[in-house]
Amino acid sequence: MSLPELPDHSYASWPAQVLQAKANLDRTFLHATQALQTQSDVSRLQFHYNAIAVEAVSILHALEALARQNNQNLNLLLEWVVECTVHFGTLLCQLSNAQKTAIGQ
């Protein structure tokens, strides 16, 4: 599973800050997913859980704020942010469950 691609829009290309944010979110998502797939130890799972809870959530909030400032792309970017938030929420649940399993709960 991976994050959705940024939606196409007809105005121009996405600003560099959006593209950089997308790259950071993709990297965070990929590494956390890999940690789940390789049945990592509890500390690695916790590291990725925290990275999502702190870094990815902060980036998603910033993208939401940016979308609200830019009315012409508001719906496209907000829909994408919501979709990514759902993906990260699911991944957080999976990481939490994997941590519980790893410690025998």
Helix axes 16-37 and 74-102, enclosed angle (nearest 10): 20
Pair of tokens at residue 58: 């902060």
* 43 within domain boundaries: yes
* 47 within domain boundaries: yes
Asked if the model's pLDDT at residue 12 lies above 70, the reply is no
Mean of the per-residue pLDDT values of the chain: 90
The Cα 98–Cα 46 span in angstroms is: 10
* 15 within domain boundaries: no
Out of 4-8, 43-47, 71-75, pick the least confident: 71-75
* 55 within domain boundaries: yes
What percentage of the chain exceeds 70 in pLDDT?
91
pLDDT in tens, 23-62: 999 999 999 999 999 988 999 999 999 999 999 999 999 9
Q: Which domain holds residue 31?
A: 27-102
Asked if the model's pLDDT at residue 63 lies above 80, the reply is yes
* 4 within domain boundaries: no
* 64 within domain boundaries: yes
Residue 10 has φ and ψ, to the nearest 5°, of -90, 0
* 5 within domain boundaries: no
Q: What was the pLDDT predicted at 11?
A: 61
Q: What was the pLDDT predicted at 104?
A: 82
Domains: count for the chain: 1
* 7 within domain boundaries: no
